[in-house]
Structure 1
Amino acid sequence: MPSPLADPVKLPCGLVLPNRLSKAAMAELMAKTNHPTNSLTDAYEQWSDGGWGSILTGNIQVDVDHMGSPFDPALHNEYKDAEKNADLVAQWKKYADACQKHGTPAIAQICHPGRQSFRVAGRRGMFAQTLAPSAVPINLGDGYIERFIGCLAWTTPKEMTSQDVERVIGQFVDTARLMADAGFSGIELHGAHGYLIDQFLNEKTNLRTDKYGGTPTKRARFVLEILTQTRKVVPPTFCIGIKLNSADHSSATFEETMTQIALLSEAGIDFMEISGGSYENPAMMGYAKTPSARTAAREAFFLEFSKEVRTRHPGLVLMLTGGFRSRAGAEAAVRDGACDLVGIGRPAAVDPKFPRLLLDESVEDERACLPLNKAPVPWYTRFLPAYLIGAGAESVSSLMLWLRVGLTFWQTYYAAQIQRLAKGLIAFAPPL
């Protein structure tokens, strides 16, 4: 019997994804000049031939002054159009073409880190303030080590003025136009993991009293304006998705989150990816400070939240990302109605052709999987809180970039595997 994972999925914009398996976004740490590089395109050529239904890129930053990591590709200046910025479009087209070389639609994840931009990530300077909806600093915990790391890694954010808000909205729209002109099939707005869009949506980080804060609807205005303005300047068949948090919303704010999801659904989002966590609580790596017993017992990290969204919005195309390692787990999520698309991250960094294994009917369910152990960590991390250690080792754009003494960053495990793929080398899973 054919796997439901092999079913095509048609998005509202008309884009057809050939199957339900999506290579999830992972930062690659290969854009040393903050432009797409040959190494980056070489890595994506590996995934383009992997049998994926869609490929999501790692973070593409909308402002080179405010970066998630020092080695993300980014928009450097205001984007005019394909004619006035022909060289820039050609550079990004090479990236888009590599992703889609074998026909798989590629979706560019665009992002602004807001207050989570590291001191050395971006061209604003080590002591310049980050931007945020409100001047709420990152809080890793009350211990001396956590507070020291927080001060070392980040500055206190500046509350964005109305002019700042308008400028950043324009940067998102410009980046989306550039991605469309370069030939990508769509964009995904990164509204999860504690980045800027998530900061606007969340009442803990958005204390504003103007039109961008104060109620769930007003807190959603920032992302809704990005979505509305982007729709006006990209082709109608260009996909616009969004990644949203689930893990950092309490029962007290659950209905507020559902209100915001309803607004996004009404605005015509093409798909919604459910993920979760932030640097303060890295649930996207399976290291939430207080994971529920039910969630821990399942393969997908955010299954319950996704199923609730599906109940309320049956027509919304949902992607669920986080923790999938097997055909059985992915099929169960689809058959339970939790999602339409299954996002796969870390296994994709180890085996770029993982979908071929999952979709091969001759392979038994027991063998259609890729179990992964926790990534190894340096010896000195024994002195750090456990959830920070794990998140840093697993993540390819994380706090652990800051924890190496010396002139270079510690290469996180899965970033190193992606870089092996770019060189045509075999990637390795962490030893079991």
Structure 2
Amino acid sequence: MAEKLADGDGLPTPTLERAYEKWGGGGWGLILTGNVQVDHRYLNGAGDVTMKPTVSTHKQLARWRAWASACTTPRQTPAIVQLNHPGRQSPMGAGSRSLCAQNLAPSAVPLDFGPGLIAQTISRLVFGVPRAMTQADIQTAVHQFVDAARLADEAGFQGVEIHAAHGYLLAQFLSAHTNHRTDAYGGSAARRAQLVVEIIRAVRAATPPRFCVGIKLNSVDHQSAEALEECIEQMRLIVAAGVDFVEISGGSYEKPTMMTSEVIQGHRPSARTQAREAFFLDFASAIRSSFPEVPLMVTGGFRTRQGMIDPLQNGDCDMIGLGRPAVLHPSLPVEVILNERVSADEARLVTERAPISWANRWTKLPVIGAGDESRHYSSRIAELGA
């Protein structure tokens, strides 16, 4: 989830802390924060938490400690910071870079929002054609993830989750669709995973053994048998690098599954989307069968207590991730999910459809609808912290 509640220096605000304090008292087994951007030059949007070199270490640490305390103090709930770099999915003006600076990506592959002048114009004007990262850029990114992990540890968080899903930078490196490199970071499934592996190892080396390191991966990129085989190959390298858990999600700005509800603009999901959702379960099962020792979290679409119990009892996953329902009901575990006085029929999780903007009505582009929903839930999070 995108909270969008940082101040102008990229620091957590009291509003953000109060929102997390409510989740901290809700009985959750684990709190995962929204995206923290490791590079202040490239954000998803205004209000992202990030680290700016112009802000003193003392000030950053104080604000992060207050944030961590808000998560963990009410019920001693462990809290993990999600670390991210948007890569080519950073809109113009989001971050401290100049308006002329190109986004970073493994290769110069622009976002494809579909055919038509409107879709192409939005891609070119809002995101532009990214610049293929140099070796120096890649090493800078590794150091940025490490610095953010160190800060999270010093602030009192129990770990970090490295975001390699939703079409962001690390997902771009993992995917053959966006990674056309021929050096050590591309050309094969193993080399496309090299940057992720380097980041995991570097974070491990820079933090104590008790510090949890997880990773978030996409299912939507692995619909074919060949793609799944390559993903398993990458997963072997990632697991060997030392991750403590794997979260499965899906979507990107081009196919924004992760940012939308079940129905967008009044339309039912297409047959292709429904197939992807069915394959999502197959993907989780493939990961589980190949890596039975790695704790697996599945996120997205859970709307009933029984719907969460079944995959846990069947061994399909070890953890269930909830986003939108948690925003609307921050005490879901203690009041509904784990409350024996609430019957199975009543133990349902609710979501809201975001108001449809004029831009969404005019363009009918899924990425615009996804933006509407993201902003709607960001405003709901702000209400939690008001």
Q: Give the alignment's TM-score, normalised by structure 2.
A: 0.93
Asked whether the equivalents of residues 194 and 279 of structure 1 are also in contact (C-alpha less than 8 Å), the reply is yes
Residue-by-residue CA offset, 1:138-168 (whole Å, 9 max, x unaligned): 1111111111211231121111110110011
CA–CA separation in structure 2 for the residues paired with 1:31 and 1:289: 36
- 1:97 counterpart residue number: 69
Residue-by-residue CA offset, 1:34-73 (whole Å, 9 max, x unaligned): 1111111111001000000000111111011011112101
- Does residue 294 of structure 2 align to residue 316 of structure 1? yes
Residue-by-residue CA offset, 1:63-108 (whole Å, 9 max, x unaligned): 11011112101011399xxxx9333212211111111112000000
Structure 1 residue 283: Cα displacement: 1.7
Q: How does 1:320-339 map to 2 (within 5 A)?
A: 320-339=298-317
More off after superposition, 165-174 vs 277-286: 277-286
Residue-by-residue CA offset, 1:349-407 (whole Å, 9 max, x unaligned): 10000112100112111111123353221244222225334322322xxxxxxxxxxxx
Q: How does 1:118-137 map to 2 (within 5 A)?
A: 118-137=91-110
Q: Label 1:376 to 1:262 Cα distance change in 2 as closer, same or farther (>3 A).
A: same
One-letter code of the match for 2:19? Answer: A
- 2:22 counterpart residue number: 46
One-letter code of the match for 1:27? Answer: A
Identity %: 45
CA–CA separation in structure 1 for the residues paired with 2:276 and 2:199: 33
Q: Label 1:302 to 1:32 Cα distance change in 2 as closer, same or farther (>3 A).
A: farther
- 2:341 counterpart residue number: 362
One-letter code of the match for 1:64? Answer: H
CA–CA separation in structure 2 for the residues paired with 1:74 and 1:393: 23
- 2:377 counterpart residue number: 414
Asked whether the equivalents of residues 249 and 298 of structure 2 are also in contact (C-alpha less than 8 Å), the reply is yes
Asked whether the equivalents of residues 160 and 212 of structure 2 are also in contact (C-alpha less than 8 Å), the reply is yes
- 1:264 counterpart residue number: 238
Judging by fraction of residues, say which structure has more helix: 2
One-letter code of the match for 2:256? Answer: P
- 2:282 counterpart residue number: 304
One-letter code of the match for 1:280? Answer: E
- Does residue 61 of structure 2 align to residue 85 of structure 1? no
Aligned residues: 375
SS in 2 for 1:59: strand
- Does residue 13 of structure 2 align to residue 37 of structure 1? yes
SS in 1 for 2:19: helix
Residue-by-residue CA offset, 1:331-350 (whole Å, 9 max, x unaligned): 11212222101000000110
CA–CA separation in structure 1 for the residues paired with 2:117 and 2:58: 51
One-letter code of the match for 2:165? Answer: A
Structure 1 residue 303: Cα displacement: 2.2
Structure 1 residue 174: Cα displacement: 0.7
Structure 1 residue 32: Cα displacement: 3.2
Q: Label 1:289 to 1:77 Cα distance change in 2 as closer, same or farther (>3 A).
A: farther
- 1:377 counterpart residue number: 356
Asked whether the equivalents of residues 17 and 66 of structure 2 are also in contact (C-alpha less than 8 Å), the reply is yes
Residue-by-residue CA offset, 1:178-202 (whole Å, 9 max, x unaligned): 1111110000001000001101101
CA–CA separation in structure 2 for the residues paired with 1:316 and 1:46: 30
Q: How does 1:74-223 map to 2 (within 5 A)?
A: 74-77=50-53, 85-102=57-74, 103-223=76-196
Residue-by-residue CA offset, 1:222-255 (whole Å, 9 max, x unaligned): 0100110111111100000000011122313221
**Match 2:215 to one of 219, 224, 242:** 242
The runs of 5 or more residues in structure 2 that have no matched partner are: none
Q: Label 1:292 to 1:381 Cα distance change in 2 as closer, same or farther (>3 A).
A: closer
SS in 2 for 1:109: strand
CA–CA separation in structure 1 for the residues paired with 2:286 and 2:102: 38
- 1:73 counterpart residue number: 49
Runs of 4+ in structure 1 over 6 Å off: none
One-letter code of the match for 1:58? Answer: G
The runs of 5 or more residues in structure 1 that have no matched partner are: 1-25, 396-411, 424-432
- 1:63 counterpart residue number: 39
Asked whether the equivalents of residues 127 and 155 of structure 1 are also in contact (C-alpha less than 8 Å), the reply is no
Asked whether the equivalents of residues 78 and 171 of structure 1 are also in contact (C-alpha less than 8 Å), the reply is no
CA–CA separation in structure 2 for the residues paired with 1:262 and 1:51: 33
More off after superposition, 90-99 vs 69-78: 69-78
One-letter code of the match for 1:232? Answer: A
More off after superposition, 234-243 vs 326-335: 326-335
Q: Give the alignment's TM-score, normalised by structure 1.
A: 0.83
